[in-house]
A and B are shown apart, each in its own frame.
Chain A
């Protein structure tokens, strides 16, 4: 995707490539983060997302391509502005709080451009905003993980940077605390009006935080767009499989269609192309088989329940479709909201929501649904 030149483009990376020795970490990546927007870089580990973040901060020397902050070039072939002169705020995975400084001193650390008298006031203001004013004189080792995370964010936002970079900022927190801290962080970032670039390997976290998501894979951007677009219109099998578990069927295009146990799906792929069909578990709707007469309904078949497990907010049902599909072994998962009373051995009617079944040409590189 080419960078758009909107007036409020805060951070732009233009055709950036980067390697470590023989390893190609980034391959011709272009990206724009707009003012006030939260953009999440998501992808499996080793896909280059952290390298991209470090290049934006100036912590990694640019090798190829350009980085703009506002309308100012900060890195290109013969220029590489030091991180301390880029005016970015950054939050690190391990928070990187200075252990020899108190919370207040940590926050003041980045405020050296303010007049001396204003520094303490600004630090106070930020600490109050984050609800950690009572920790002002504590040292980092005295804080809980969630408190450390808040201090790290407060420290990064205190100098009012136009760009905020976050590197896996929630991975050190346990899951319950994470939900709360994510929520606070999202609102603090939005309130600051800064352009935010955040790295995460967690697709749910990306969808929670992001206005737009850039899905990365092997040094390239696989797909970039609003979360809804990535979820409902995945560009590749990898993109489709990254955001949820997938049921996977294989087939071949015949007459512009691929046959499945639920009926034939339409596709624009060429005749004879080997394809894979990816179906989200929530796209398989279940009903009691006897309740409805066996009329010719679209995308519907009968299956036997192998197991049903309540996972809290939803129930995962393991289905065996081999009887009706004729296949030797066909095991699919369906996810339905709330608890349902299906039991082992029950016969159920399965209806496919076609909008969440995706057909992609099969290639060995694209078939493994790698999850970070």
Chain B
């Protein structure tokens, strides 16, 4: 008998009074949802005179423009995204493999950067009109495409946001049964019939989810519509906040916009079903590979080339040329300051948000209590909220806290504490965490889901507590998920404009803010250097996503002995 019985000992109170992991989940998740809750609260606050004024003057225009923008961009991204996804997935034509990832490149371009670039290219003094005048095709004063218009905004947003539909539609086309398409062909139906009656209906959930994500970006957009002077809810919130100085009205406008966002969230949740943002890979399906000839080949090539040219190649080249022209003027010590500000903000936000997401995600794994799960779900709602709405939702409670503390300190000690939280870097970072928590959380959660629960059980029975298990088992297996999550937050923060504009400390400029300001001052060429820096950062996630697509191909399957 090798097992000596342990001495008689009954340890009481081992079950802790305070559940640390439940506390971590709640303390991590609840604060991030504060901005959304604050805005919701203002739905029930009294509606002041300014609201009536707005309702009678600008509100109908906000509604009309926002809805027009959603409908127009929706149609544009649907047609572009679905057509490119189908052609690239199902047909054989020159450069098809290159287009698979090149079609994602417009994701790297912030919409406002594309807007500034095309304005620079197409306005009266720009190269396009200039050339046309030189050729005598266009006379001074003739009508020309008005890029700074609702139509222009639809075009710019459409060409930048179609990759969302492309990605999910393509994943759906890849996952669906090729046999169904083959049956359609053996029954004597051609590729078009297969597309309309088999491919499209099966991919509908994925396409709808991609559409919802693209439309969330539409209502989040501030830079494009502000620059094109298309009044939407987002610009309205910004103006009401800064110009009219009416926080509660801005909050109520935000609440109205939130209704749009929530409708999109519901649409995305309902339609997503099994659709995934990244192709899950593993199985390689032989696709029909319709061999195209002559005109068909040219058409397929054009369908794929056009969005890449318009959405990435042309604006990127223009930016590069302008940046080369203006680099010596722009790249001074102050510019290095903007770069540093952007990098520090984006890195800190990425680190904080990912750490928070990891803490909450792991705490939920250790203690999947309904309360904690609900709190995490609420916290991830931030991704649907436009930056302007998050900004208002952060500024209002921070200002109230500052005022309350200041008042109390003055009454009690005769000291004025002034503004402690409002207009600080901390406030900006908190807004980023609220806005991008979902992006990090979804990445971490997907990574954790790949680790079977028996790994946890093995670590525990081998003598490690939950905290040490995280450090020694989960984290080493999660690194790539954590880094990807951090990178996505990093890039989103680099691009972020409205929340930064509203919350940032006085005179604190980032690359995005600087780009916006220079473009607003009609110094479009000068804006090229900071804009190009943002685009370079934006390429990072595109590379990661396209590598995910590549993993769905044969020859990439990792050897597994299980």
Q: A and B, one complex?
A: yes
A43 to chain B, nearest CB (A): 20
**Using Cβ atoms and an 8 Å threshold, which residues of chain A touch B560?**
141
Q: Is A144 a contact of B561 with CB atoms below 8 Å?
A: yes
Contact of B463 among A35, A84, A143, A160 (CB under 8 A): A84
Scan A141-165; emit 1 where CB is below 8 A from any B CB, else 0: 1111101100000011001101101
Within 8 A of B (CB), among A181-195: 192-195
* Of B463, B465, B560, most A-chain CB atoms within 10 Å: B463
Is B137 part of the binding interface, using a Cβ–Cβ cutoff of 8 Å?
no
Looking at the complex, which of B2-10, B71-79, B437-445, B507-515 is the stretch in contact with chain A?
B2-10
B308 to chain A, nearest CB (A): 38
Q: Is B458 a contact of A96 with CB atoms below 8 Å?
A: yes
Q: Is B465 a contact of A82 with CB atoms below 8 Å?
A: yes
**Using Cβ atoms and an 8 Å threshold, which residues of chain A touch B269?**
none
Is B477 part of the binding interface, using a Cβ–Cβ cutoff of 8 Å?
yes
A79-B15, A80-B15 as given contacts; A70 in contact with B5, CB under 8 Å: yes
Is A83 part of the binding interface, using a Cβ–Cβ cutoff of 8 Å?
yes
Q: Is B458 a contact of A70 with CB atoms below 8 Å?
A: no
Is B533 part of the binding interface, using a Cβ–Cβ cutoff of 8 Å?
no
Per the CB 8 Å criterion, the residue count for chain B at the interface is 35
A81-B11, A110-B462, A159-B463 as given contacts; A59 in contact with B477, CB under 8 Å: no
* Of B461, B559, B561, most A-chain CB atoms within 10 Å: B461
Is B97 part of the binding interface, using a Cβ–Cβ cutoff of 8 Å?
no
**Using Cβ atoms and an 8 Å threshold, which residues of chain B touch A143?**
561
Is A273 part of the binding interface, using a Cβ–Cβ cutoff of 8 Å?
no
**Using Cβ atoms and an 8 Å threshold, which residues of chain B touch A109?**
459, 462, 464, 472
Q: Is B462 a contact of A141 with CB atoms below 8 Å?
A: no
Scan B532-562; emit 1 where CB is below 8 A from any A CB, else 0: 0000000000000000000000000011111
Q: Is A96 a contact of B452 with CB atoms below 8 Å?
A: yes
**Using Cβ atoms and an 8 Å threshold, which residues of chain A touch B459?**
98, 109
Distance in angstroms between the alpha carbons of A91 and B462 in the assembled complex: 11
Q: Is B561 a contact of A141 with CB atoms below 8 Å?
A: yes
Scan B442-462; emit 1 where CB is below 8 A from any A CB, else 0: 000000000010110111111
Distance in angstroms between the alpha carbons of A78 and B11 in the assembled complex: 10
Distance in angstroms between the alpha carbons of A175 and B455 in the assembled complex: 26
Distance in angstroms between the alpha carbons of A165 and B454 in the assembled complex: 13
Q: Is B457 a contact of A110 with CB atoms below 8 Å?
A: no
Q: Is B460 a contact of A98 with CB atoms below 8 Å?
A: no
B460 to chain A, nearest CB (A): 4
**Using Cβ atoms and an 8 Å threshold, which residues of chain B touch A194?**
2-3
Q: Is A145 a contact of B561 with CB atoms below 8 Å?
A: yes
Scan A111-131; emit 1 where CB is below 8 A from any B CB, else 0: 011000000000000000000
**Using Cβ atoms and an 8 Å threshold, which residues of chain A touch B13?**
78-79
B450 to chain A, nearest CB (A): 10
B104 to chain A, nearest CB (A): 30
Q: Is B558 a contact of A72 with CB atoms below 8 Å?
A: no
Q: Is A10 a contact of B454 with CB atoms below 8 Å?
A: no
Total number of A-B contacts with CB less than 8 angstroms? 131
Contact of A92 among B9, B14, B454, B477 (CB under 8 A): B454
Distance in angstroms between the alpha carbons of A87 and B16 in the assembled complex: 20
Per the CB 8 Å criterion, the residue count for chain A at the interface is 59
Distance in angstroms between the alpha carbons of A87 and B463 in the assembled complex: 7
Q: Is B2 a contact of A94 with CB atoms below 8 Å?
A: no
Chain A at the B interface: SS class: loop
Q: Is A72 a contact of B3 with CB atoms below 8 Å?
A: no
A181 to chain B, nearest CB (A): 15
Is B476 part of the binding interface, using a Cβ–Cβ cutoff of 8 Å?
yes
Is A100 part of the binding interface, using a Cβ–Cβ cutoff of 8 Å?
yes
B439 to chain A, nearest CB (A): 25
Distance in angstroms between the alpha carbons of A138 and B477 in the assembled complex: 17
Is B1 part of the binding interface, using a Cβ–Cβ cutoff of 8 Å?
yes
Q: Is B457 a contact of A57 with CB atoms below 8 Å?
A: yes
Distance in angstroms between the alpha carbons of A357 and B8 in the assembled complex: 48
Distance in angstroms between the alpha carbons of A155 and B461 in the assembled complex: 11
Scan A234-272; emit 1 where CB is below 8 A from any B CB, else 0: 000000000000000000000000000000000000000
**Using Cβ atoms and an 8 Å threshold, which residues of chain B touch A90?**
457-458, 461
Is A215 part of the binding interface, using a Cβ–Cβ cutoff of 8 Å?
no
Distance in angstroms between the alpha carbons of A11 and B227 in the assembled complex: 73
Is B334 part of the binding interface, using a Cβ–Cβ cutoff of 8 Å?
no
**Using Cβ atoms and an 8 Å threshold, which residues of chain A touch B303?**
none
Q: Is A99 a contact of B11 with CB atoms below 8 Å?
A: no
**Using Cβ atoms and an 8 Å threshold, which residues of chain B touch A112?**
463-464
Is A7 part of the binding interface, using a Cβ–Cβ cutoff of 8 Å?
yes
Distance in angstroms between the alpha carbons of A204 and B457 in the assembled complex: 27
Distance in angstroms between the alpha carbons of A144 and B560 in the assembled complex: 9
Is A343 part of the binding interface, using a Cβ–Cβ cutoff of 8 Å?
no
B421 to chain A, nearest CB (A): 39
A228 to chain B, nearest CB (A): 24
Is A203 part of the binding interface, using a Cβ–Cβ cutoff of 8 Å?
no
Contact of A100 among B5, B7, B464, B477 (CB under 8 A): B477
Q: Is B457 a contact of A96 with CB atoms below 8 Å?
A: yes
Q: Is B2 a contact of A192 with CB atoms below 8 Å?
A: yes
Q: Is B6 a contact of A69 with CB atoms below 8 Å?
A: yes
Distance in angstroms between the alpha carbons of A98 and B461 in the assembled complex: 13
A88-B461, A112-B463, A140-B561 as given contacts; A162 in contact with B3, CB under 8 Å: yes
Q: Is B10 a contact of A79 with CB atoms below 8 Å?
A: yes
Is A71 part of the binding interface, using a Cβ–Cβ cutoff of 8 Å?
yes
**Using Cβ atoms and an 8 Å threshold, which residues of chain A touch B3?**
8, 10, 35-36, 70, 162-163, 193-195
Is A73 part of the binding interface, using a Cβ–Cβ cutoff of 8 Å?
yes
Is B83 part of the binding interface, using a Cβ–Cβ cutoff of 8 Å?
no
Distance in angstroms between the alpha carbons of A58 and B15 in the assembled complex: 12
**Using Cβ atoms and an 8 Å threshold, which residues of chain B touch A148?**
561-562
**Using Cβ atoms and an 8 Å threshold, which residues of chain A touch B53?**
none
* Of A58, A70, A192, A194, most B-chain CB atoms within 10 Å: A70
- Residue in A closest to B465 when the chains form the complex, CB atoms: A84
Is B291 part of the binding interface, using a Cβ–Cβ cutoff of 8 Å?
no
Is A89 part of the binding interface, using a Cβ–Cβ cutoff of 8 Å?
yes
Is A93 part of the binding interface, using a Cβ–Cβ cutoff of 8 Å?
yes
**Using Cβ atoms and an 8 Å threshold, which residues of chain B touch A163?**
3
Is A345 part of the binding interface, using a Cβ–Cβ cutoff of 8 Å?
no
Is A172 part of the binding interface, using a Cβ–Cβ cutoff of 8 Å?
yes
B521 to chain A, nearest CB (A): 52
**Using Cβ atoms and an 8 Å threshold, which residues of chain B touch A81?**
11, 14
Distance in angstroms between the alpha carbons of A86 and B461 in the assembled complex: 8
Contact of B10 among A73, A84, A88, A93 (CB under 8 A): A73
Distance in angstroms between the alpha carbons of A100 and B475 in the assembled complex: 10
Q: Is B455 a contact of A79 with CB atoms below 8 Å?
A: no
Q: Is B452 a contact of A94 with CB atoms below 8 Å?
A: yes
- Residue in A closest to B461 when the chains form the complex, CB atoms: A90
Scan A1-25; emit 1 where CB is below 8 A from any B CB, else 0: 0000001101000000000000000
Is B473 part of the binding interface, using a Cβ–Cβ cutoff of 8 Å?
yes
A57 to chain B, nearest CB (A): 6
Is B12 part of the binding interface, using a Cβ–Cβ cutoff of 8 Å?
yes
A21 to chain B, nearest CB (A): 12
Distance in angstroms between the alpha carbons of A93 and B457 in the assembled complex: 12
Scan A39-62; emit 1 where CB is below 8 A from any B CB, else 0: 000000000000000100111000
- Residue in A closest to B8 when the chains form the complex, CB atoms: A71
Q: Is A172 a contact of B465 with CB atoms below 8 Å?
A: no
A80-B15, A112-B463, A193-B3 as given contacts; A59 in contact with B457, CB under 8 Å: yes
Distance in angstroms between the alpha carbons of A7 and B473 in the assembled complex: 38
21 pairs across A/B with beta carbons < 8 Å?
Answer: A8-B3, A10-B3, A69-B6, A70-B5, A78-B13, A78-B15, A79-B10, A79-B12, A83-B461, A85-B463, A90-B457, A90-B458, A92-B458, A94-B562, A98-B455, A112-B463, A141-B561, A147-B561, A148-B561, A160-B2, A165-B461
12 additional contacts (CB under 8 A) given A36-B1, A194-B2: A59-B461, A72-B6, A72-B10, A79-B12, A80-B14, A81-B14, A82-B460, A84-B463, A87-B463, A93-B454, A112-B463, A141-B562
Binding site for A on B (CB under 8 A): 1-3, 5-15, 452, 454-455, 457-465, 472-473, 476-477, 558-562
**Across the A-B interface, the 3 shortest Cβ-Cβ residue pairs:** A110-B462, A193-B2, A162-B3
